[in-house]
Structure 1
Amino acid sequence: MLGAAADPRTARRTASPLTWLVVALACAGQFLVVLDVSVVNVALPSMRTDLGLSAPGLQWVVNAYSIAFAGFMLLGGRAGDLYGRKRMFLVGLALFTFASLGGGLAQDDWQLLLARAAQGLGAAVLAPSTLTILTSAVPEGAARARAIATWSAVGAGGGAAGGLVGGVLTDGLSWRWVLLVNVPVGAVVLAGAARWLPESRAGAGRRLDLPGALLVTAGLATLAYGIVQTEEHGWAAAATLVPLLAGAVLVALFLAVEARTAAPLMPLKLLGLRSVASANAAMFLSGAAMFAMWYFMTLYAQNVLGYSPLGAGLALVPSSLAVVLGSKAAPRLMRVAGARAVAVAGSLLAAAGFAWQSTMSADGTYVTTIMLPGVLMMLGAGLAATPLASLATSGAAPEDAGVVSGLVNTSRTMGGSLGLSVLSTIAAARTGGSASGTALTEGYALAFRTGAAVLLGCAVLMLLWLPGARTREPARTRAEAEAQAKTQA
C-alpha cells in the first residue's frame, strides 16, 4: 500500500479526490460563463414585451455580454498570472453573480443592458482562471488530458444546454430566471472556491502592462462591436467598417507595443510556439462554425418545423450528450493516435454532420434533420475540442499560463462571433427577406454548407500545422526514479 502511494508514476496517472474537487469547481465556473452566452436567446421575446425593448436594444442584450467578454479576456488572463488565479476566479465569479442578480431584477432596458455588460466583464476575468487553475492542479500527462476533456465537455455542454435551460425557465417561470438562476449556483461555487481552490500565481515582481492592456481590450472590444454591427447594417456600411478598421489598428498598435515592452501583457514569443499558434488558429475556425450550429438549429426547429422554445431545447439534448461523449473519449484516443489525428478526425466528423444538415427540408422529420446530423456535428466538436485545448496550453512558461488560457477563450469567442455574423449574412441573403418555411430552410442550408467548408479547411490547417507528437506520460526525472527505487527496496 505504501509503495503504491509513493510511486510517482501512479501519482501522475491519477489525481486525488481534492484535485478533482478543484477541477469540478473550475468546470462549474466555465459552465456558467458559456451558458450565459446562449441561455438568454429564447427569453428575448419575453424581455422585449416586459421591458419594452426596441429591436436594436434586444440585440444588445446578447451583444453587451459578448463584447465585454471578448474584450477583457486577455487582460483577465494576465491579471490571474500576476495577482493570483484563485483571487481572479473569486473576483470574476462574484461580479458575474451580482450582475446576474441585477439583470434579473432590472426594471428598465438600460439596467438590463448594464447588467449584461457587467456579466461579460466578470466572465472575462473568470474564464481564463478556470483553465489555468485546472492545468496548475493536475500534472501534465494522462490525468491532465482527462481534466481538460472534462473542462471542454462542460464548456461545450454549457453552450448546448443554453436553449434547453432558457426554454424551461422562461416557459415555467419567467425570463428573469434565466439570469437569476446564476445567483444560487454562483453562490455555491463561490463558497466552494473560497474554501478549496489553491492559490497560484507567476511573474512575481512584474507589473501589469497597462498600455498593452488598454490597447488590446479596446481593440478586441471594438472588433467585436464591428462584428455584431453586421447583423443590423451589413458588411459594407460605415457603422460596420469604421469599428472593424479601428479595432484592427488598435490590435496592430498592441502588437507593436508588446514587441518593445520589457514585461508585455502577451509575449509575442507565445505566437512563435507552434502548438499555441496552430491550436488557437484552429479553435478560431472551429468556433466560427460550431457556435453558429446551435443558433441555426434552434431557428430551424422553431421557425420552420414549429417547435416551441422548450421543444427546440429538448430536440437538441442528444447533440448535447454527443459533445460530452466526444470530449470524454478524446483523451483515450489521443494516447493511441496523437492529439493532431484526433483533432483532424473530429473536424472531419463535424464537417460530415454539417453537410448532412445542409440537406434539410421544410417538412423534415426530427430524426433525420435534427437528431442524427446534430449528434454527428457535436460528436466531432467534442473530439476536436480536447486536443486543441491541450495543445494550445502546452509549451508555454508557467508565468504565461493565464494569458495563454485567455487567448484560448478569446480565439473561440471571436471565432464564434465572426462566424455567426458571416453565416447569418449568408443565410439572410439566400432567404431574400421571405418568411416562408421553404425560403428560410434554403438560407439555413446554405449556412450549414458554408460551415462544412470552413471545417474542412480547418481540418487541412490542423493536418499541416498542428504538432504531430502523440500525447504520452512525461518522462520521469532522476529524482522520481530514485524515490521509486527506495520505496521498492
Structure 2
Amino acid sequence: MTRRQLLVLGLLLASQFMLAVDFSILNVALPTVGAGLGFAEADLQWIATSFALCAAGFTLLFGRFGDYLGRRRMFLIGMAALGVASLVGGLATSPSMLLAARVAQGLATAAVTPAGLSLLTTSFPEGPLRSRALGLNSVMMSAGFTSGAILGGVLTDLLSWRWAFLVNVPVAALVLVLAPMLLTDTADRERSRLDVPGSVLVTTGLLALVYGVTRAGEEGFSDPWAGSALLAAVVLLVAFWRAEGRHSHPLVPTAILRRRTIGWGNLGGFITFAMESSQVFLLTLYLQHVVSLDALQTGLTLGAMGLGAIIGGACGPRVIAAVGVRRALAGGLLVQGVFTAVLVVLGAATGWIWLVAGATFVGAIGHVCAIVGFMVAATSGLPDHEQGLATGLATMTQQVGVAMGVPVMSAVATMAGSLESLTSLRVALGVDAAVVLVAALLVATQLRAGRTAAAEPQERVPASA
C-alpha cells in the first residue's frame, strides 16, 4: 500500500471500530444509566433497541443517498451527527433526551458505515489489496462489538456511564479534521430519481422486523405486538421486492441480488454476525450468572475472542487467495459453528472458563475469516458507481444481523427455561451452532461463482452472473 492508502485505511478503520463499539458499549451500563436518569426498568431495553432500530432500518436508504450526494459527503455528515449525538447523550438529563441521542447515533451509524465501507472499496483496486483492507475492516467490526462491552464496563466503573457517549466526541472531531484531506470520492454520482416507494417500504419493513424480533426476545414469540410487527415486516418486504421489479430506477435492482456472490455472500454474512453477537451475549450471561464472574473477569475471558479476531483478519485475505471466496466463507462458518457447538458441554464450575477462552479464540478466527469472505463476495465484480449499493446491502446485512441475533437467542433461551439457567444457555448455544453449520453447508453448495478474479483468474465472474 502507498503511504496515502495507509492513512486512508487507518482513518476509515478507526471510524468503523468506533461505530461497532457503539452497538454494545452501553449494554453493561444499562442498570447504572437507568438509576442515574430515572428510567423505568421495563424501558431500559429501549436504550439499546432505539439505536439498533435506526442503525439497521436506515442503512440501505442512506447507502443509496451516498450514490446521489457523494460517499465522502455522507461520511462527513454522518460523522458530524455522531459527534453531536454523542455529546448530547453524555450530557443527557432525562430519559427522553438520552433516547433522542441514541436515535441520532443510530441514524448517524446508518449514514457513516456504508459510506465508509464504500470509500474503502473504491480506494483499493479489486484483488489482494482490497481483500487485505476488507480483512482489517472485518477485524475492527468484530473486535469493536466485543470490546464495546468491556470498554463500557471499564468506563462506567472508573469514571461514569456518560463517558460511554463522550469518548466518541474527540474521535469524531479528529476524523472530521482529517477526512477532507485524505478521502476522495472517485465514483460518478447517480443521476436518476430516488426510488421513494421502495425506500419507504424497505425502511419501514426493516424497522418492523428488528422491532418484532426484539419484542419477541423480551416477551416471547406469542406476544401479539411481536407477532403483528413480524407479520407487517413480511408484508412490507414482499411488497418492496415486487415494487423493485417494476420500478425503472429501483433502490435495489433485483438482478443484483440474483448474483450468487451477492445473495449467498450476504446470507453468510448475516448468519455469522447474528450468531456471533448472540454467542457473546449468551456467554456473558453464563460467565456472570452461572460461574459468578464479575464484569472485569468476564471481559478478560472474552478477550480471547478479540485476539482470535485479529488473527482471523490477518489470515482471511491469504485464505481467499489460496482457496477462493466460497471456501473461505464456508470454511469460516464451519469453524465458527464447530467451536460454538463445543460450548454446549459447559458446566457450572469455574474451571470451564478455559474452554470458553479456547473455543471462542478459535471460533473468532473462523468468524472473521467468514466476514472477510462475505465482504469480498458482496463487493466484487461491480463497477465503482454500484459500490454504494453493494456496500449498503453488506452494511444492512451486518447491522440487521447484530440487531437480530441477541433477541432471537434470548427468545430461544427463554423458551427453554430461563436466561440464567445453564440448561437453557446450552440449548441456545446448540441452536446457534446448528444455524451456523447449516449456513456453511448452503454457502459451500450454492455460492458457485464465489472466487475472485484476482485470486483465480481462470474463474472470473461474468458481469451477467
| TM-score normalised per structure 2 | 0.94
**What is aligned with 1:9?**
none
Q: Which residue of 2 aligns with 1:451?
A: 432
Pairing 1:390-469 to 2, within 5 Å after superposition: 390-432=376-418, 440-467=421-448
1:87 to 2:68 alignment? no
Change in 2 beyond 3 A, CA 1:382/1:204: closer
Q: Deviations over 1:156-214 (max 9, x none)?
A: 11111111111110111011111110111111112111221112343442222222212
Match of 1:228 in 2: 214
Cα distance, 1:414 vs structure 2: 2.0
Q: CA deviation at 1:475?
A: 9.8
Aligned to 2:302: 316
Structure 2 distance, partners of 1:190, 1:72, is: 22
Worse-superposed segment, 205-214 or 95-104: 205-214
State the SS of the aligned residue for 1:42. Answer: coil
| Distance in 1 of aligned mates of 2:398 and 2:442 | 16
- Find the counterpart in structure 1 of residue 461 from structure 2: none
Conservation of the 8 A alpha-carbon contact between 1:27 and 1:151: yes
State the AA in 2 paired with 1:455: V
Contact between 1:336 and 1:470, CA under 8 Å: does it hold in 2? no
Could you tell me which of 100, 107, 115 is aligned with 1:114? 100
Aligned residues of 2:215 and 2:226 also touching (Cα < 8 A) = yes
Aligned-partner SS, 1:28: helix
Secondary structure of the structure 2 residue equivalent to 1:405:
helix
TM-score, with structure 1 as normaliser? 0.90
Which residue of structure 2 aligns with residue 37 of structure 1? 23
Alpha-carbon distance between aligned partners in 1 of 2:448 and 2:85, rounded to the nearest angstrom: 41
Correspondence list, 1:192-203, <5 A: 192-203=178-189
Which residue is 2:371 aligned to? Answer: 385
Q: Which stretch shifts more, 78-87 or 242-251?
A: 242-251
Give the counterpart of 2:454 among 473, 477, 481: 473
Alignment deviations for residues 381-427 of structure 1 (CA, whole Å, 9 cap, x no partner)? 01111011100111233322112111112122223333322211121
Q: In structure 2, what is the equivalent of residue 76 of structure 1?
A: 62
> In 1, Cα distance between the equivalents of 2:373 and 2:366?
12
Shift of 1:51: 1.1
1:330-341 mapped onto 2 (5 Å cutoff): 330-341=316-327
Aligned partners of 1:21, 1:207: CA distance in 2, in Å?
35
Letter of the 1:466 counterpart:
L
- 1:20 and 2:6 equivalent? yes
SS of residue paired to 2:345 = coil
Aligned with residue 335 of structure 2, among 324, 349, 352: 349
| 1:17-45 residue CA offsets vs partner (Å, 9 max, x unmatched) | 10121122222221111111111111111
SS for the counterpart of 1:306 is coil
1:199 aligned counterpart, secondary structure: coil
Name the SS for the 1:106 alignment partner: coil
**Contact 1:208/1:265 (<8 A) preserved:** yes
The separation in 2 between residues aligned to 1:211 and 1:263, in whole angstroms, is 11
Judging changes above 3 Å, is the alpha-carbon distance between structure 1 residues 264 and 168 closer, same or farther for their aligned structure 2 residues? same
CA distance in 2, matches of 1:402, 1:237: 37
Distance (Å, rounded) in 2 between the aligned partners of 1:397 and 1:264: 17
For residue 233 of structure 1, report the CA deviation from its aligned partner. Answer: 2.3
Q: CA contact under 8 A between 1:171 and 1:310: conserved in structure 2?
A: no
Partner of 1:10: none
Partner of 2:142 in structure 1?
156
CA displacement at 1:147 relative to structure 2:
0.6
How far did residue 305 of structure 1 move? 1.8
Runs of 4 or more, structure 1, over 6 Å off, are none
Amino acid at match of 1:175: W
SS of aligned partner of 2:149: helix
Counterpart-to-counterpart distance in 1, 2:106 and 2:190: 28
**Cα separation, 2, equivalents of 1:387 and 1:294:** 21
Cα distance in structure 2, aligned partners of 1:73 and 1:325: 29
**Structure 2 counterpart of 1:3:** none
Conserved? CA contact 2:201–2:237, under 8 Å: yes
Give the Cα–Cα distance (whole angstroms) in 2 for the partners of residues 446 and 278 of structure 1: 27
Query: Does structure 1 retain, via aligned residues, the 8 Å contact 2:149–2:299?
Result: yes
1:226-265 per-position Cα deviation (integer Å, ceiling 9, x unaligned): 1111123211221111111112222222222221221111
Q: Which runs of 5+ in 2 are unaligned?
A: 458-465
Q: Which residue, 32, 35, 51 being the options, matches 1:46?
A: 32
Separation in structure 1 between the aligned mates of residue 295 and residue 87 of structure 2, nearest angstrom: 24
Q: In structure 2, which of residues 118, 137, 157 is the aligned counterpart of residue 132 of structure 1?
A: 118
Cα 1:193/1:236, change in 2 over 3 Å? same
Q: Secondary structure at the match of 2:28?
A: helix
User: Which structure has the bigger radius of gyration?
Assistant: 1
User: After alignment, is 150-159 or 26-35 more displaced?
Assistant: 26-35
Aligned equivalents of 2:355, 2:427: Cα separation in 1: 15
Deviates more, 1:395-404 or 1:240-249: 395-404
The answer as to whether partners of 2:322 and 2:455 remain within 8 angstroms in 1 is no
What amino acid maps onto 2:369 in structure 1? L
CA distance in 2, matches of 1:159, 1:130: 17
Whether the aligned pair in 2 keeps the contact of 1:41 and 1:166 (CA below 8 Å) is: yes
> What root-mean-square deviation, in Å, do the aligned CA atoms of Structure 1 and Structure 2 show?
1.7
- Letter of the aligned partner of 1:148 in structure 2? L
| More deviation, 170-179/408-417 | 408-417
Aligned with 1:166 (options 145, 152, 156): 152
For residues 140 and 400 of structure 1, the distance between their equivalents in structure 2, rounded to whole angstroms, comes to 14
Distance in 1 separating the partners of 2:247 and 2:363: 43
- Answer whether contact 1:63 1:228 (CA < 8 A) is retained: yes
Contact residue 30 and residue 154 of structure 1 kept, 8 A? yes
Name the residue aligned to 1:481: none
Paired residues in the alignment total 457
In structure 2, what is the equivalent of residue 260 of structure 1? 246
Q: Distance in 2 between matches of 1:173 and 1:462?
A: 45
Where does residue 361 of structure 2 map in the other structure? 375
Distance 1:200 1:310 in 2: 45
- Whether contact under 8 Å (1:353, 1:376) holds in the other structure is yes
Using the alignment, how far apart are the partners of 1:275 and 1:26 within structure 2?
A: 24
Alpha-carbon distance between aligned partners in 2 of 1:217 and 1:200, rounded to the nearest angstrom: 28
